[in-house]
Structure 1
Amino acid sequence: MVKVKAGILGAGGIAKVHTANLKNDERVDIIGVADIFKDKAEALAKEAGEHVHAVESLEELFQLGVNTVYVTTPNTTHVEPVLNCLENDINVFSEKPMATSLAEAEQIKEAAQKSNGIYNLGMNRRYAYVYKKVKDLIATEEVTPHMALFKMNRGELLNPAWTADPKATGGFLYETPFHLMDMCRYLFGEVEAVKCEARQNISEAELDDFAILLTFETGTIVTFVTSAHSGWSFPFEKIEVYGKYSTIETEELEKVMYAPGLKQKAEIDDYFQVPFEEKWGYIEEDQLFIDAIINGTKQPVTAEDGYLSTQLLESIYESARTGQQIDLRSVSRSSK
């Protein structure tokens, strides 16, 4: 069996999740872990396996002979290592976001088109059990989504302090809200128009409260609210989808309820007991990425797809700044 020789760049919390998944995949050998803090690299390398090297840079991972790199560094530091991997025909799995500007996202998209390496953006919620259920109900036309309500909050913006620093995050929307920005497109297709009202209520550096209205080419209308300082009120992540006399409702990544019609019993799937790396979609997205490398199948989230989600997020910020509705039909999409 030809094995994937993987390296991990960045030894934080999400790196530990991917490392555990890859360690359990017999098709993968983890060769090295890199982090600018050598002690962190050493600790994760020890978890990854007996012969895994701890180094301090991407270049050292290349020297170890990796053919695949997981980029799990902070938001604003994804672009340079991703481009470096693609230019060297190295497969690269980048944690979200793709980039923290549309111009940088376009650089990655163009590099991915030229590279022999496979690019994948880590959007685990596409494979989370609750959202797979929602996607299936829409795809099988059991529910035609006329309207939807999305909520994605953060409990406290200023703790830890870096979460309020756009130099580290790229802006609040590039943090966890980006997942549900992508989920909107994944469930309902491309966005036709965006209108956003936003305020700077707690943070001294950035907008931290957003009320967003999205109109989709399919006709679906979505209201999306996200606050950076909601106090961790449960559920801080939630969507509701409304069809003809039908509702799909999620609570966090734990539970999904489907009410199929009038005078009918609601169906509830509860995943509370399922390990988080499974129910949150991390295991499946890693397996599908390795499948793409070994079997030539399509990776979970392409550079083109990541670019379009970045384009949507940037349009929301533009509407927040200008107070204007943004018509995405007038924005050039490379997929059209």
Structure 2
Amino acid sequence: MAQVKLGILGAGGIAKVHTAILQQDERVEIIGVADVVAAKAAALAKEIGTAKAVGSLDDLFALGVDAVYVTTPNTLHVQPVLQCLKHNVHVFSEKPMATSLAEAEQIRQAAAASPAIYNLGMNRRFASVYKRVKELLASGEVVPYLAQIKMNRGELLHPAWTSDPQVTGGFLYETPFHLMDLSRYLFGEVRSVLCEARQNLSPSELDTFAITLTFEAGTIATFVTYAHAGWSFPFESLEVYGKYSTIATQELEKVMYAPGLQQAALVHDFFQLPSAEKWGYVEEDRLFIDAIVNGTEPPVTAEDGFRSLRLLEAIYESATTGKKVNLSKTMEGKAAW
């Protein structure tokens, strides 16, 4: 079986998560690691063993890569992705797709025009707890009337770059974006957004958000995300309420399902699973390689990524204008793109 020759662009912490998984896939050979900091590229290449340390994306192309993982900071995703698609090289981009809707549209168009596969890394979709929630909703066992979503973004200011929009794109582009995407994945497209936001800790941006999401299917969700609670437990949670039924998650460790009145709750505890599996990284990497080898659909397409980014920008728009934003009309207006 021919191996997928793979390169890594950006040798930080998330790159190490992916390379540890990909090294276990016999269909993959990691042949290059590129980073602007030569020592970081060299260290990860040595750890992999089969990879050459290089300085740029062009150097990875010169090595003959079939696919590239873009694991650079948020604001540095767009140009490498566009270059990969232009060279017909498959690309897995860590979230977010871009840090503006205009740039996301560039990727959307490039992905549609290229024979190469584009995939956005949204690991929460494949995390054990949320797969269980998805099963309950997709089967119709629970019809979601109301949901509550919470994310403590505990790392703001520590380190300092986490509050620098020039690196992150903005507060919501970091960890909270995962749960915005997850809300669409679980409940469908969002019809409207209303948000109140404040600037409490960050010297440069809004960092406290109270958001109401109304979905096309009728579900209403409240979503709160903020910087000032630290990583207090649970730093991430989801509660879904149906007819006398409740689904509740605690971080990425546990999910409880109460199916009805006077019935025992069912608990799935994933605490002892390896983190890479529990958090969904193993499955999203496998599905990306499946798409390359078997010609199947990538786990998160450019269209999907674009719609989640549109939701994020609608939240910012509502926060700054104080008005409800109707996404249905917005997406209708984009349909001809």
Is the TM value for this pair above 0.5? yes
Which position in structure 2 is the counterpart of 1:279? Answer: 278
Which position in structure 2 is the counterpart of 1:71? Answer: 70
Which position in structure 2 is the counterpart of 1:17? Answer: 17
CA distance in structure 2 between the partners assigned to 1:265 and 1:284 by the alignment: 31
2:94 is the alignment partner of 1:95: yes
CA distance in structure 1 between the partners assigned to 2:144 and 2:330 by the alignment: 25
- Give, as a single letter, the amino acid of the residue that structure 1 aligns with 2:229: S
Q: Give the number of aligned pairs.
A: 335
Which position in structure 2 is the counterpart of 1:135? Answer: 134
Answer yes or no: is the 8 Å Cα contact 1:124–1:281 preserved in 2.
yes
CA distance in structure 2 between the partners assigned to 1:52 and 1:62 by the alignment: 14
CA distance in structure 1 between the partners assigned to 2:39 and 2:317 by the alignment: 41
In the TM superposition, residue 325 of structure 1 has moved relative to its aligned partner by 0.2
1:1-336 alignment to 2 at 5 Å? Answer: 1-49=1-49, 51-333=50-332, 334=334
- Give, as a single letter, the amino acid of the residue that structure 2 aligns with 1:127: F
CA offsets, 1:53-96, max 9 Å, x none?
A: 00110000000000100000000000000000001100000000
TM-score normalised by the chain length of structure 2: 0.98
CA distance in structure 2 between the partners assigned to 1:52 and 1:237 by the alignment: 36
CA distance in structure 2 between the partners assigned to 1:189 and 1:42 by the alignment: 43
- Give, as a single letter, the amino acid of the residue that structure 1 aligns with 2:69: Y
State the SS of the aligned residue for 2:69.
strand
In the TM superposition, residue 229 of structure 1 has moved relative to its aligned partner by 2.0
CA distance in structure 2 between the partners assigned to 1:197 and 1:26 by the alignment: 49
CA distance in structure 1 between the partners assigned to 2:193 and 2:230 by the alignment: 27
CA offsets, 1:285-322, max 9 Å, x none?
A: 00000000000111000000000000000000000000
CA offsets, 1:247-290, max 9 Å, x none?
A: 00000000000000000010111111111000100000000000
CA distance in structure 1 between the partners assigned to 2:79 and 2:143 by the alignment: 41
For structure 1, which runs of at least 5 residues remain unmatched after alignment?
Answer: none
Answer yes or no: is the 8 Å Cα contact 1:11–1:35 preserved in 2.
yes
In the TM superposition, residue 47 of structure 1 has moved relative to its aligned partner by 1.4
CA distance in structure 2 between the partners assigned to 1:31 and 1:156 by the alignment: 33
CA distance in structure 2 between the partners assigned to 1:110 and 1:229 by the alignment: 38
- Give, as a single letter, the amino acid of the residue that structure 2 aligns with 1:16: K
State the SS of the aligned residue for 2:119.
strand
In the TM superposition, residue 335 of structure 1 has moved relative to its aligned partner by 5.8
CA offsets, 1:156-209, max 9 Å, x none?
A: 411100001000000010000000000000000000000000000111100000
Answer yes or no: is the 8 Å Cα contact 1:190–1:216 preserved in 2.
yes
CA distance in structure 1 between the partners assigned to 2:26 and 2:74 by the alignment: 30
- Give, as a single letter, the amino acid of the residue that structure 1 aligns with 2:26: E
Runs of 4+ in structure 1 off by over 4 angstroms are 333-336
In the TM superposition, residue 231 of structure 1 has moved relative to its aligned partner by 2.1
Answer yes or no: is the 8 Å Cα contact 1:156–1:230 preserved in 2.
no
CA distance in structure 2 between the partners assigned to 1:127 and 1:193 by the alignment: 26
Answer yes or no: is the 8 Å Cα contact 1:156–1:229 preserved in 2.
no
CA distance in structure 1 between the partners assigned to 2:335 and 2:252 by the alignment: 31
Q: Quickly say closer, same or farther: Cα 1:214–1:13, change in 2 above 3 A.
A: same
Answer yes or no: is the 8 Å Cα contact 1:304–1:335 preserved in 2.
no
In the TM superposition, residue 46 of structure 1 has moved relative to its aligned partner by 1.1
CA distance in structure 2 between the partners assigned to 1:155 and 1:309 by the alignment: 22
What is the RMSD of the two structures over their aligned residues, measured on CA atoms?
A: 0.9
